[in-house]
Amino acid sequence: MKSGLIVDDVLIIGAGAAGLAAARALSLAGVAVRILEARERIGGRVLTLHPSGASLPVELGVEFMHGRPRELLEVFSADGLHAIESDFTNDRPFSEFSGSETAARTIPACRSFRVREGFDSVCEYLLRSAAGARLNLKSIVTEVRWRPGRVAVLTRNAASERVFRARRLIVTLPLGVFKAPIGTEGTVRFLPPLPEKQMAASALEMGNIFKIVFKFREPFWRAQPRFMFEQASSRAIQLWYDTFPLNSGLLTGLTAGPRATALLSNGREHAVEQALSCLAGVTGVGVDLLAEWLDCWYFHDWQSDPFSRGAFSYVVAGGLAEQKKLAATLADTLYFAGEATHCEGLNGTVEGAIQTGQRAAQAILEKLQLGARRSAA
């Protein structure tokens, strides 16, 4: 590796919750940080739209805070955000079959909260409070050349290619990107390679979700008793919910796993038609009338997104050891964060992602402090 001018102490791949949390912790400690983000926005799998004329944001990715995690409550308090509890415990069939009222009182994670201002507000706060951190959007990382104590990160965009250098790198690539064949869009080539990381990633799984948000002129379903949360496990769309207790014309349909993949197999327009047909079956309103009442719909295909390749990670039987291998630091040079590297049960959550970013940052700060003490001695 050719030597070159090192401008940054730490480079971070990815401006999702993990990368932003790491950047914030490091920059507040005076460390020179640069975030390299492939997309033209921050947030990763947090994707919030603010359509003109809509009374509420539209969440196409992360939508709910489950329980009251400290990492998110700190952001809410500092930024004046509002957590609106979505109390589905009186709706059927959840209440009839799961003892949800008791669970909501006794298990904090059973309580779900929506961010009134939009979940993107959490990411925007993390970036704003990362004083001094540099952010390069539309910078697609293609290759990482590394040796102990030095990294060179190659990026490209529509206009040019650039090389960024630092002494340490935090990698927050989603599990789906790690699992994809090197050379496909969004993947990163490491030189020398990381076979142990590839093997660890191959033993974990990335879940797929089909999520569509319909915007109707009026919330017609509110006229039907207790429809604010409806499960239909035998249908193409397994779950419907609205913005209760807030009023809007937004209705979200959700399904996961193989059924989500099957829905998208014939294209987006077909999937929307299937979702409307499913909603007609649930509400008893004809498809033609639903189409007449429908203003628009919103959708993002996370499985086909080259920079996510799935919606969330999950651990299969025997996978905990591999998860720890995926999270392990290499030579005090390559650090790994992101929800898939959370080894204590919070993978698949924003708070888990934030914790892993903070974990990587803290590990680097401890190394820097140790080095400073040795130099002073």
pLDDT at residue number 253: 95
Question: Binning pLDDT at 50, 70 and 90, where does residue 86 land?
Answer: confident
Q: Are residues 113 and 253 in the same domain?
A: yes
pLDDT at residue number 93: 35
Q: Are residues 267 and 335 in the same domain?
A: no
Answer whether residue 186 shows pLDDT above 80.
yes
Question: Binning pLDDT at 50, 70 and 90, where does residue 266 land?
Answer: confident
CB atoms within 10 A of CB 354: 30
The two tokens of residue 186 are 């969004």
Q: Is residue 290 domain-resident?
A: yes
Q: Are residues 219 and 323 in the same domain?
A: no
Average pLDDT, the chain: 89
pTM above 0.75, yes or no: yes
Ramachandran angles phi, psi of 206, nearest 5°: -115, 125
What CATH number does residue 57 fall under?
A: 3.90.660.10
Q: Are residues 40 and 137 in the same domain?
A: yes
Kindly provide the residue ranges of all beta strands, DSSP E only, lying in 150-238, ordered along the sequence. Answer: 150-156, 161-166, 168-171, 189-191, 205-207, 209-216, 229-231
Q: Are residues 356 and 317 in the same domain?
A: yes
Which of 241, 276, 299 lies at the terminal end of a domain, its last residue? 299
Query: Total domain count for the chain?
Result: 2
Is there a contact between 100 and 94 (Cβ–Cβ < 8 Å)? Answer: yes
Q: Are residues 98 and 214 in the same domain?
A: yes
Higher pLDDT: 106 or 10? It is 10
Which of 239, 267, 299 lies at the terminal end of a domain, its last residue? 299
Neighbour-count burial for 50-71, b at 16+ CB within 10 Å, e otherwise? eeeebebbbbbbbbbbbbebeb
Which of 299, 326, 344 lies at the terminal end of a domain, its last residue? 299
Q: Is residue 307 domain-resident?
A: no
Query: Residue type at 175?
Result: L
pLDDT at residue number 282: 87
For 7-26, the pLDDT digits (tens) are 899 999 999 999 999 999 99
Higher pLDDT: 270 or 228? It is 270
Q: Is residue 5 domain-resident?
A: no
pLDDT at residue number 92: 35
Is there a contact between 172 and 46 (Cβ–Cβ < 8 Å)? Answer: no
Pairwise CA distance, residues 311 & 209, whole Å: 6
pLDDT at residue number 226: 58
The two tokens of residue 73 are 């409550």
Answer whether residue 148 shows pLDDT above 60.
yes
Domain residues for the domain of 372 are: 10-44+124-205+312-376
Answer whether residue 228 shows pLDDT above 60.
no
What CATH number does residue 191 fall under?
A: 3.50.50.60
